[in-house]
């Protein structure tokens, strides 16, 4: 399967614990996005990378959230000291930007439940 893959698909954690999600993008894609989606809402932008450089992190994102993309390949999203409000679907997408145009390919997401 050469699509975007995310791991794990589901995560249940206790409040206060740290969690880490992984995203493997399509290999030739230079951009990688993280979004968060709650029920009935559209994907909310969290952060994105071009190759290994993190270009922007949403101002809505607290310092408990951190993302990395070492060597411009896979990416990890870590949430420290999880809160119930962090419960959501975390979506990863990759794209190949060319001449200002890009089409995002999404993974199936990681559903986080904080209890």
Partner 1 sequence: SQQGEEDPQALSIQEGENATMNCSYKTSINNLQWYRQNSGRGLVHLILIRSNEREKHSGRLRVTLDTSKKSSSLLITASRAADTASYFCATVSGRYSSASKIIFGSGTRLSIRP
Closest approach of partner 1 to the CB of residue 92, in Å: 9
The Cβ-side half-sphere exposure at 10, using a 13 Å CA radius, reads 1
Name the segment binding partner 1 (CB under 8 A); options: 14-22, 66-74, 78-86, 88-96. 88-96
Q: Compute CA distances 43 → 30, 37, 77, whole Å.
A: 20, 5, 16
Question: CA-to-CA distance for 50 and 39, rounded, in angstroms?
Answer: 28
Binding of partner 1 at residue 106 (CB under 8 A)?
yes
115 Cα distance to chain centroid: 21
Binding of partner 1 at residue 33 (CB under 8 A)?
yes
Binding of partner 1 at residue 87 (CB under 8 A)?
no
Residues in touch with partner 1 (CB under 8 A): 4, 33, 35, 40-45, 48, 50, 55-56, 58, 60, 91, 93, 95, 97, 99-109
């Amino acid at each position: 399967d050469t699509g975007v893959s995310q791991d794990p698909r589901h995560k249940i954690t206790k409040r206060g614990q740290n969690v880490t999600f992984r995203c493997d993008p399509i290999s030739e894609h230079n951009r990688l996005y993280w979004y968060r989606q709650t029920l009935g809402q559209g994907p909310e932008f969290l952060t994105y990378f071009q190759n290994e450089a993190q270009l922007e992190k949403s101002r809505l994102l607290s310092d408990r959230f951190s993302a990395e993309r070492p060597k411009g390949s896979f990416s990890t999203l870590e949430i420290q000291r999880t809160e119930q409000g962090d419960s959501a679907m975390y979506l990863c997408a990759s794209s190949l930007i060319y001449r200002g145009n890009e089409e995002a390919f999404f993974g199936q997401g990681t559903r986080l439940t904080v209890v």
